[in-house]
Amino acid sequence: MEFVFVLEQVLNGLLIGAYYLLIALGLSLIFSLGGIVNLAHGAFYAIGAYLAVVVAPYLGFGGAFVVSPLLVGALGLVVERFLLRRFYRGDPIYGLLLTFGLAMVAEQTLRMVFGAAPVPFAIPDMLRGQVFVGDFIYPVYRLTVLCVSALCVFGLWLLLTRTYFGRVVRAGVQDPDMVGALGISLKPYMTAVVVIAVGLAAVAGVMLAPITGVHPAMGAEILTFAFVVVVIGGLGSFWGVVAAAVIVGVVRGLAAYYAPAATEASIYLLMLLVLLLRPRGLFGERIAKFE
């Protein structure tokens, strides 16, 4: 019987991993191509959740699920065009400071507009209920989240590996100067990457809003985990990030089962361990410009 419970926690861990994945992939993309550690990424996630709360009464959950990421993507476009763009080639510390500042401004703005108290946002009635598989229990809503995450990841993978757009982006990650020498400007690609990345963060925000609370610090809360996932997975590696998200979710689930008080500490221990053995992360590639 004990084994069944452990298995249940492992499977549940996969779900938890899916939450971080969409955020971690965006972080990894922006850093790989632009060299910016986007500390404001969690803010886009939070804004996505709040926008969903605002538009859902008019458009329903489905409408919010589409509109909120589009609006956040548009916001990302503006932020990239007027702020991030100035910092791609500079000392990384400037980009770090800029996005750190942006994150604080965003969090405080949310607090001023919506208040510090969590804002209610419920699971749509259509997706309420649970699925029982043998002795296991899965809320319908979490399964939906898992499927949407998987679809997003698959779509992103297709985009990066099967299209002209993806080839330029991957080349830009490895050798931006050579891409430039070939007469391709990376600027529009960078804009597109930021829009996609923050849009995915907003998708995560909308989907997680009914599970965890909608409150101003929700962005800061999830960003730390997303970073851990990126670091464990290794920069530049798409599947590294995916694998890391799954591993982090499972480790967290197991820790919550055996030693709940150590739930959060467990993933940092995991990170420490991975970095000791593989300093570039599990599947990290050697990227010349960051060495």
Among 42, 48, 176, 210, binds other proteins (CB under 8 A): 210
For 85, the token pair is 């763009």
Query: On the CB side of 70, how many CA atoms lie within 13 Å of its CA?
Result: 6
By the rule CB under 8 A, 175 interacts with other proteins:
no
Q: Which of 181, 261, 276, 277 binds other proteins (CB under 8 A)?
A: 261
Determine if 60 is a binding residue for other proteins (CB under 8 A). Answer: no
Q: 91-94 — which CB contacts under 8 Å span 24+ positions?
A: 92/35, 92/36, 92/37
- Rounded to the nearest whole angstrom, what is the least distance from the CB of residue 227 to other proteins in the complex? 15
Query: How many other CB atoms are found less than 10 A from the CB of residue 168?
Result: 19
Counting every residue written for the chain, the total comes to 291
Angle at 40 between CA 38 and CA 46, to 5 degrees: 135
| Interacting residue with other proteins among 78, 93, 113, 116 (CB under 8 A) | 116
Minimum distance from CB of 281 to other proteins (Å)?
24
Closer residue to other proteins (CB): 119 or 192: 119
Task: Tell me if 15 contacts other proteins by CB under 8 A.
Answer: yes
Q: What is the DSSP string of 218-249?
A: HHHHHHHHHHHHHHHH-TT-HHHHHHHHHHHH
Where would I find the H helices in the chain? 2-34, 41-82, 92-114, 140-162, 164-174, 176-181, 187-208, 218-233, 238-258, 263-277
Q: How far is CA 200 from CA 108, 121, 182, 204, in A?
A: 22, 20, 30, 6
In this chain, which stretch among 59-67, 125-133, 240-248, 277-285 interacts with other proteins, using CB under 8 A? 125-133
Q: What track of x and - describes contact with other proteins for positions 24 through 53 (by CB under 8 A)?
A: ------------------------------
Which range, of 75-83, 84-92, 111-119, 234-242, touches other proteins by CB under 8 A?
111-119
* Interface pick for other proteins out of 37, 47, 142, 226 (rule CB under 8 A): 142
Say which amino acid occupies 205. Answer: G
Instruction: Please give the residues from 215 up to 234 whose contact with other proteins meets the rule CB under 8 A.
Output: 215-218, 221-222
Query: Which positions touch other proteins (CB under 8 A)?
Result: 5, 8-9, 12, 15-16, 19, 115-123, 128-130, 137, 139, 141-142, 210-213, 215-218, 221-222, 252-253, 256-257, 260-261, 263-264
